[in-house]
Amino acid sequence: MSSAQNQSETPRERFPRRQPILRSMKTRDPEERHRAATPLELLYDLCFVVAIAQAASSFHHAISAGHGAEGLIGFCWAFFSIWWAWVSFAWFASAFDNDDAIYRIKVFIQMIGVLVLAAGIPRVFEHQDFALLTVGWTIMRVGLIAQWLRAAIANPSQRKTAFRYVFAILILQAGWLSLLLLPPEQWMWGGIPLTMLELLAPGWAERAGKSSWHPEHLAERYGLFTIIVIGESVLAATLAIQSAIDLNQVSAQLFTVILGAPTILFAMWWLYFSRPAHAILTSNPAAFLWGYGHSLILGSAAAVGVGLAVLSDYEIGEAQMTSFGAGQTVAIPVALFIASTWAFHLRRPGPRAKVEALQVMLACACILAAPLTPIPVVGIALALILITVAMSRQSTPQAEA
25 inside domain? no
Q: What Rg value do the Cα atoms of the chain yield, rounded?
A: 23
Mean pLDDT within 162-177: 97
Amino acid 351: pLDDT: 79
Residue 2: band (very low, low, confident or very high) from pLDDT cuts 50, 70, 90: very low
Is the entire prediction scored with pTM above 0.75? yes
34 inside domain? no
Phi, psi (deg, nearest 5) at residue 113: -60, -40
Amino acid 73: pLDDT: 92
293 inside domain? yes
196-204: list long-range contacts, CB under 8 Å, 24+ apart.
197/168, 197/172, 198/84, 198/172, 199/292, 201/165, 201/168, 201/169, 201/172, 202/91, 202/165, 202/288, 203/284, 203/288, 204/164, 204/168
Amino acid 164: pLDDT: 97
155 inside domain? yes
- pLDDT tens digit sequence for 338-373: 999 999 998 887 778 889 899 999 999 999 999 999
The answer to whether residues 291 and 370 belong to one domain is yes
- pLDDT tens digit sequence for 101-142: 999 999 999 999 999 999 999 999 988 899 999 999 999 999
pLDDT at 151 over 90: yes
The answer to whether residues 127 and 260 belong to one domain is no
The residue among 147, 171, 206 that closes a domain is: 206
The answer to whether residues 166 and 235 belong to one domain is no
pLDDT at 156 over 70: yes
User: At a CB cut-off of 8 Å and minimum separation 6, what does 160 contact?
Assistant: 208, 209
The answer to whether residues 174 and 67 belong to one domain is yes
235 inside domain? yes
30 inside domain? no
pLDDT at 158 over 60: yes
pLDDT at 4 over 50: no
Amino acid 18: pLDDT: 66
13 inside domain? no
CA angle 269, 275, 280 (to 5 degrees): 125
The answer to whether residues 64 and 193 belong to one domain is yes
Residues of the domain holding 178 = 39-206
The answer to whether residues 84 and 164 belong to one domain is yes
179 inside domain? yes
Mean pLDDT within 3-12: 43
Mean pLDDT within 366-392: 91
Lowest mean pLDDT among 28-42, 159-173, 259-273, 321-335: 28-42
Percentage of the chain lying above the pLDDT 70 cut:
93
The answer to whether residues 138 and 271 belong to one domain is no
Closest CA to 56 of 112, 117, 121, 111: 121
Structural domain total, the chain? 2
- Tell me the CATH number at 344: 1.20.1410
Q: What is the three-class DSSP state of 253?
A: helix
Residue 19: band (very low, low, confident or very high) from pLDDT cuts 50, 70, 90: low
The answer to whether residues 265 and 133 belong to one domain is no
The answer to whether residues 50 and 175 belong to one domain is yes
Q: Where are the alpha helices (DSSP H) in 97-183?
A: 101-127, 131-154, 159-179
The residue among 206, 228, 261 that closes a domain is: 206
Mean pLDDT of the chain: 87
Helix pair angle (184-206, 284-315), 10° resolution:
150
The answer to whether residues 302 and 383 belong to one domain is yes
Q: Where are the alpha helices (DSSP H) in 247-283?
A: 252-272
- Burial label for 241, CB within 10 Å (0-12, 13-18, 19+), is buried
The residue among 206, 234, 268 that closes a domain is: 206
- pLDDT tens digit sequence for 184-201: 778 888 899 999 999 999
Lowest mean pLDDT among 92-96, 254-258, 362-366: 254-258
Closest CA to 243 of 158, 310, 170, 325: 310
Amino acid 41: pLDDT: 93
- pLDDT tens digit sequence for 209-235: 888 888 899 999 999 999 999 988 888
pLDDT at 13 over 70: no
Residue 277: band (very low, low, confident or very high) from pLDDT cuts 50, 70, 90: confident
The answer to whether residues 233 and 120 belong to one domain is no
Amino acid 112: pLDDT: 96
Q: Do residues 236 and 55 touch, judged by C-beta distance below 8 A?
A: no
- pLDDT tens digit sequence for 293-321: 999 999 999 999 999 999 988 888 888 88
pLDDT at 9 over 60: no
Closest CA to 219 of 42, 33, 31, 345: 345
Q: Does 9 or 211 have the greater pLDDT score?
A: 211
Mean pLDDT within 79-85: 95
Amino acid 281: pLDDT: 79
The answer to whether residues 126 and 178 belong to one domain is yes
pLDDT at 15 over 50: no
pLDDT at 14 over 80: no
Mean pLDDT within 160-168: 96
